[in-house]
């Protein structure tokens, strides 16, 4: 088997895992270490640099980074990366002194942001310090977009949202709230040098089946209903509620219904429970609040008697997969199921809508009515108009919108400097050798099993009577430190220098997980079986050195490495070193 990197004579572990799993590229182990050391403000600022909304995302993120966490290879659950972001936010000092200070020296360029959600706010955060005059338009009375209108207060308190949105708006952003943009052409005609569209996917899909019109008074589109609750136009709902849909919006609808008078709330979804789009923890929270989830039920009709909604009938189905793995929902042949309801919330998906974008703007649309947007630059067919967040490629999540905002800001900056949008700046990457012997690089490297700590919740009897009472209480400081200690130090990389190795096998002997083996080279399939601990995870590359003087090679299985540094401490010739990897997200500059 060839060495991992033929161009580098040294063995070098390429960083994968959680360093790159998050779309906004937070240097995960770095801020986890700071949390373990009690440096919450520093951890907060690291997150703010890349993720922009640590307190918000620490409560609501879909956690795309956590499945990549290597702790999940040792135990069932990864490090609680998301909830540790909240710990940094909840325990930070006053961070305004660390924020970019307005007013900034102006460069004479004006940019319009349409929509005040996470993508637009990220663009503002990146471009305002560079001297751009930013004008933000949003129909709501404050910034935040869908974070304000669609995430319930029991998940995201309004003061947390306001605080983190205001960090950006206080950079001298010109805000036009309560302003609905009905014409993109009008915005362009106002002489802006560039326009960014971050309007999200604002329209909920409807369900047109028999009885829909007749029962219209008691059928509500989920996202619209959540917004009506958030802005305090809606204060109650019927005692018997059906929520249609299996995503996170449906979970927010059913849990909000419980707080507004719903006593029998049922979520009905056509797919199997395991295939629901809602995050597992969102489903668990719904079940904890006595909400029944019925899967494999396809809606057939809204039942209306004397002009009043009585409930719905459903057809029971089961999933059948063909040879290509494509799923079909096939009727079971059982009798239809009738479920009583006073109100029905339809949360079966979101759609983009752009009636305000005229053909005269030069913005072209493709399949499904989506704008044609470059996947790297986020530039539309009108070179001065950029898209990001849900409005660019359809509904995703907050952290993806943040990532889009960073990249769109880079493109806008390059465009207005008349530079090629493909000449994008590289991220900051660094690899620094750490002093060995006193564990300066490591806050904790004990080899032990340590199950993920549970986040405490407020009492259900209290939270179900107050829709604004936050359910999750967050980790206390001591628990947060224990959770941070579960990190396996993915930013500390083992680096092997072949020419320094005397093949004493000391590293192999001291390794607590038997991840290092000195053996004869061979084909990968054979080599995996001859390691000190056979390697069966084929998704993880083996790292193989060049041939050593005894004709053996050093083979390391990263799948089970704890990054504990014992190999580097034990090595008498410094053939092994621990080097700290740092990645900082690319931003406009």
Torsion of CA 158, 161, 162, 167, to 10 degrees: 160
Nearest Cα residue to 19 out of 427, 388, 408, 378: 427
**Rounded-to-integer distance, Cα 564 and Cα 88, Å:** 25
**Rounded-to-integer distance, Cα 90 and Cα 92, Å:** 6
Give buried/exposed letters for 446-481 (b at 16+ CB in 10 A, else e): eeeeeebbebeeeeeeebbeebeebbbebbeeebbb
The residue to which tokens 């904790």 are assigned: 444
Task: Give the angle subtended at the CA of 557 by the CAs of 551 and 560, to the nearest 5°.
Answer: 150
Nearest Cα residue to 402 out of 119, 116, 85, 58: 119
Radius of gyration of the chain (CA): 27
DSSP assignment of 339-366, as one string? Answer: EE-SEEEE-S-EE---TT--GGGT--B-
Instruction: Look at strands 337-340 and 110-114 and give their pairing.
Output: unpaired
C-alpha distances out from residue 355 to 182, 203, 316, 335, 389, Å: 8, 12, 38, 43, 18
Nearest Cα residue to 504 out of 563, 570, 564, 435: 570
C-alpha distances out from residue 324 to 149, 295, 317, 320, 454, Å: 40, 23, 20, 11, 39
Residue 70 contacts residue 539 (beta carbons within 8 Å): no
* Residue 297, beta-bridge partner list: 316
C-alpha distances out from residue 476 to 27, 59, 91, 455, 472, Å: 23, 15, 10, 9, 12
* One-letter-per-residue 3-state SS of 225-259: HHHHHHCCCCCCCCCEEEEECCCHHHHHHHHHHHH
Residue 178 contacts residue 141 (beta carbons within 8 Å): yes
Tally of residues, the chain: 589
- Residues 6 or more apart whose CB falls under 8 angstroms from that of 539 comprise none
Q: Global pTM?
A: 0.91
Torsion of CA 202, 311, 215, 467, to 10 degrees: -40
**Rounded-to-integer distance, Cα 165 and Cα 54, Å:** 11
Nearest Cα residue to 31 out of 13, 58, 56: 58
Instruction: Look at strands 385-387 and 542-544 and give their pairing.
Output: unpaired
Give me the phi and psi of 539, to 5 degrees please.
-80, -15
Residue 394 region by backbone torsions, left for phi larger than 0, else alpha for psi between -120 and 50, else beta: left
Nearest Cα residue to 495 out of 108, 15, 168: 15
Nearest Cα residue to 256 out of 233, 235, 272, 274: 235
Token code pair at residue 6: 């033929």
pLDDT in tens, the chain (589 residues): 544 444 444 444 444 456 667 888 778 888 898 998 899 999 999 999 889 999 999 999 999 889 888 888 778 899 999 999 999 999 999 999 999 988 999 999 999 999 999 999 999 999 999 999 999 999 999 999 999 999 999 999 999 999 999 999 999 999 999 999 999 999 999 999 999 999 998 899 999 999 999 999 999 999 999 999 999 999 999 999 999 999 999 999 999 999 999 999 999 999 999 999 999 999 999 999 999 999 999 999 999 999 999 999 999 999 898 888 888 899 999 999 999 999 999 999 998 889 999 999 999 999 888 999 999 999 999 999 999 999 999 999 999 999 999 999 999 999 999 999 999 998 888 888 876 554 554 545 565 678 899 999 999 999 999 999 999 999 999 999 999 988 888 888 889 999 999 999 999 999 988 999 999 999 999 999 999 999 988 888 899 999 999 999 999 998 888 888 889 889 999 999 888 888 888 899 8
- DSSP state, 155? T
Three-state secondary-structure class, residue 567: helix
**Rounded-to-integer distance, Cα 529 and Cα 552, Å:** 16
């Amino acid at each position: 088997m060839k060495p991992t990197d033929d161009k580098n004579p040294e063995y070098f572990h390429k960083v994968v895992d959680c360093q790159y799993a998050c779309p906004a590229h937070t240097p995960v182990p770095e801020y986890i270490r700071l949390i373990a050391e009690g440096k919450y403000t520093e951890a907060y600022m690291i997150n703010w640099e890349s993720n922009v909304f640590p307190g918000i995302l620490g409560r609501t993120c879909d956690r795309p980074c956590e499945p990549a966490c290597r702790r999940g290879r040792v135990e069932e659950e990864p490090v609680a990366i998301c909830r540790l972001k909240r710990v940094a936010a909840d325990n930070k000092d006053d961070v305004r002194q660390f924020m970019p200070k307005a007013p900034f020296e102006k460069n004479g360029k004006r940019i319009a942001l349409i929509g005040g959600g996470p993508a637009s706010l990220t663009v503002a955060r990146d471009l305002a310090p560079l001297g751009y005059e930013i004008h933000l338009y949003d129909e709501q009375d404050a910034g935040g977009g869908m974070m304000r209108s669609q995430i319930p207060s029991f998940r995201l308190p309004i003061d947390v949202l306001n605080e983190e949105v205001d960090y950006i708006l206080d950079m001298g952003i010109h805000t036009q709230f309560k302003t609905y943009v009905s014409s993109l052409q009008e915005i362009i005609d106002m002489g802006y040098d560039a326009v960014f569209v971050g309007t999200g996917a604002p329209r909920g899909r409807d369900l047109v089946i028999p009885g829909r019109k007749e029962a219209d008074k008691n059928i509500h589109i989920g996202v619209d209903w959540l917004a009506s609750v958030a802005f305090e136009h809606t204060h109650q709902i019927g005692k018997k509620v059906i929520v249609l849909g299996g995503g996170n919006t449906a979970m927010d609808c059913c849990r909000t219904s419980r707080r507004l008078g719903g006593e029998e709330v049922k979520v009905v979804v056509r797919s199997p429970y395991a295939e629901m789009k809602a995050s597992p923890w969102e489903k668990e929270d719904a079940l904890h609040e006595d909400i029944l989830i019925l899967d494999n039920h396809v809606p057939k009709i809204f039942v209306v008697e004397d002009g009043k909604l009585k409930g719905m009938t459903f057809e029971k189905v089961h999933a059948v997969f063909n040879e290509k793995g494509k799923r079909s929902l096939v009727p079971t042949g059982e009798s239809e199921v009738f479920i009583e309801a006073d109100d029905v919330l339809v949360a079966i998906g979101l759609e983009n809508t752009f009636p305000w974008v005229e053909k005269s703007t030069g913005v072209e649309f493709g399949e499904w009515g989506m704008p044609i947007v470059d996947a790297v630059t986020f530039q539309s067919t009108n070179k001065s108009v950029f898209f990001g967040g849900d409005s660019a490629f359809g509904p995703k999540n907050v952290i993806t919108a943040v990532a889009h905002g960073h990249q769109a800001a880079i493109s806008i900056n390059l465009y207005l400097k008349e530079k090629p949008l493909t000449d994008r700046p590289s991220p900051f990457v660094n690899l620094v050798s750490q002093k060995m012997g006193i564990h300066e690089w490591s806050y904790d490297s004990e080899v032990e099993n340590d199950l993920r700590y549970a986040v405490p919740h407020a009492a259900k009897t209290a939270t179900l009577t107050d829709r604004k009472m936050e359910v999750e209480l967050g980790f206390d400081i001591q628990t947060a430190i224990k959770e941070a200690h579960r990190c396996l130090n993915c930013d500390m990389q083992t680096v092997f220098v072949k020419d320094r190795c005397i093949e004493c096998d000391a590293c192999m002997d001291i390794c607590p997980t038997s991840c290092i083996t000195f053996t004869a080279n061979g084909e990968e399939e054979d080599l995996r079986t001859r390691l000190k601990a056979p390697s069966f995870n084929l998704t993880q590359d083996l790292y193989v050195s060049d041939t050593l003087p005894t004709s053996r090679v050093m083979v390391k299985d990263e799948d089970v490495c704890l990054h504990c540094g014992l190999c580097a401490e034990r090595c008498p010739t410094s053939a092994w070193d621990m080097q700290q990897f740092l990645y900082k997200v690319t931003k406009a500059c």
